[in-house]
Amino acid sequence: MLELVGILLFAALIGASIALHELGHLLPAKRFGVKVTDYMIGFGPTLWSTRRGETRYGLKAIPVGGYIRMIGMLPPGPDGTSRPMSTGRFGAMIDDARRAAAEEVVPGEESRAFYRLPVRRRLVVMLGGPVMNLLLAFVLFAIVLVGIGLPEPTLQVRAVVACTPSASQSTEPLPSGACPTGTEASPAVVAGIVAGDVILAIDGVPATSWDEATAWIRAHAGVSAVFTIDRAGGVVDVPVVIATAERPVLDEQGNPTEEIVTAGYVGLSPEFDFVAQPWSSVPAYMWDITARSAVALLTLPVKLYDLVTGTLIGGEERAADSPVSVVGVSRIGGEVAAMDEPLEAKVATFLGLAASLNLFLFLFNLLPILPLDGGHVASALYEGARRRLAALRGRPDPGPVDTARLLPVAYVVAGALLLMGVVVIWADLVKPISLG
């Protein structure tokens, strides 16, 4: 039940992100006098719509994006008209698109066409959507960092690991309760440390943090030490013989790498407390996530290839960092809701996931290719530069860029994005990513 609630909530959050993205385009367009005929969430058949003034607002059947329709998105041809100017299949496509765009502009509303806006205003309209995703990501990250806080390990023991691990053996005991061959009971089990104990000191030195205590243990393999523990309000001294174990080296995010080192080991897992962060931490945190999202965006084609050839065709396990669709990310949201974790941990994970998604959408929509927002931004910047250069050379205004000529590229990109969406949705259905 909780998983279903989580899926629905995250789907609603994705819908809100799409709606706000399109609102980021709608508001400046209306403010600058552009006629907006449609504001739609989703694609395909219309499920519901209503008209307010000159704009129709509605929901469509396929909730994988949205759009607003502005009149005059394509300027007339180089001769200033929408008459056929090209030959061939692509030429006919371009001429048909110009003609359809011209038909949207009724007599008397020519000044309200999108292409008539100054370059700087077109930039504001087209950047409004991605910027809205960026602002939403900032708000969500701020709620997580400042309102909830980041989880930090405490000195209270949450769980005791049963067996001392090796590079090739699991720490999970056998069904009989014994440790697998080649391993033995962990020092924590032998010493009688239990969940709920709080480490006060090690060998008489006060323990100030879990990281400090862990670093001391890893550096003292084979040493006998006395752990001073607060147990249910009473202080006890527990002798512990620190084991020598093969442990993975952790990366900057705390994830295990393939490198193995020999270090001290006791077998304790900490409780976590959420510690509120200062407002100043939000930009730095977002910058770190942005850098990782940019790397993910650049490697998207490779990961998509691996998903198809390795997972869908080759039957391999799906990588945790493989591309994911709205279906998959909603499912992950449901899994977060169903986790056996404190409510604040679920909310922090849920909102952090939504914030990361919006940050990725911000970057993705800035790619300088049509039909993405970044393609329109690139066209406007090129037009502005061309006009500035003509003015400096004393030449006539070259007029708007003929973006209709880029439509074949836009159609190819749109088709590729559609195909990618179908592939990833299928992967999310047959081989979903699991947090477990």
| Tokens representing residue 265 in the block | 């080991």
Burial 10-22 (b: 16+ CB within 10 A, else e): bbebbbebbbbbb
Nearest to 55 by CA among 67, 44, 65: 67
Angstrom distance (rounded) from CA 185 to CA 93? 73
| Length of the chain counted residue by residue | 436
Task: Give Cβ neighbours of residue 411 (< 8 Å, ≥ 6 apart).
Answer: 93
196 to each of 199, 216, 270, 322, 382, how far by Cα in Å? Answer: 10, 21, 9, 38, 64
Separation CA 154–CA 209 (nearest Å): 7
**From 3, 22, 316, 344, active-site residue:** 22
* Of the candidates 171, 164, 240, the residue with the CA atom closest to the CA atom of residue 199: 240
Q: Is 240:248 a contact under the CB 8 Å cutoff?
A: no
Alpha-carbon distance of 17 to 28, in angstroms, equals 18
Please indicate whether residue 22 is annotated as part of the active site.
yes
Closest CA to 117 of 83, 81, 70: 70
Specify which residues 228 forms β-bridges with. Answer: 201, 237
Residue type at 234 in one-letter notation: G
Under 8 Å between Cβ of 283 and 203 = no
Could you tell me which residues are beta bridge partners of residue 201? 206, 228
Catalytic residues: 22
